[in-house]
Amino acid sequence: MQLTRDVKVISSAGARALVDQCAAWAEKNKQIVAIAILDWAGNLIESHAMEGAPANAIDTALLKAKSALRWRRPTSETNKMVRSGENLAPTFMRDFPQPGAIPIIVNGQVIGAMGVSSGQGEQCAQAAIDAVFKGQAASSAR
């Protein structure tokens, strides 16, 4: 019986690289976003609001990231579950099942989540994850 396990943790450098890549993607696509990166335990590792982001954008990104981490799936999928009536739990568990966040998965292990305040947040997050982890990470958004 194994009494411990190894847990991968996203570093602050990794989180900063994700923010930088997502912000670059947003600029290229003429969007203004806020970004939140959580570790596997839900701790905020990095956040950033681009110049001109609405006052509530960081909170929105953070709530989305927490939902993606808890449900271990993109928030767009959680949103579909709620809208269809398949699972209403996210609505009373204080989650924010709005599209824009994805879990960060490395070697089958969820190491964190990335939330972005815009409607195309999941594309921004996925582009950042692809650029930073160069194929080592996956998300269920694919």
CA-to-CA separations, 126 to 3, 84, 122, in angstroms, rounded:
34, 25, 6
**Are 57 and 140 in contact, with CB atoms under 8 Å apart?**
no
Burial class (CB in 10 A: 0-12, 13-18, 19+), 31: buried
pLDDT digits (tens, 9 = 90+) for 34-43: 999 999 999 9
- The correct answer on CATH 3.30.450.150 for the domain covering 12-138 is yes
Of the two residues 33 and 77, the one the predictor is more confident about is: 33
Q: What confidence tens digit (pLDDT) does each residue in 113-142 have?
A: 999 998 799 999 999 999 999 866 665 544
pLDDT of residue 85: 79
Q: What is the pLDDT of residues 84-107, one digit of tens each?
A: 878 776 676 777 788 899 999 998
Residue 141's pLDDT is 45
Q: What's the farthest any 2 CA atoms get from each other in the chain?
A: 53
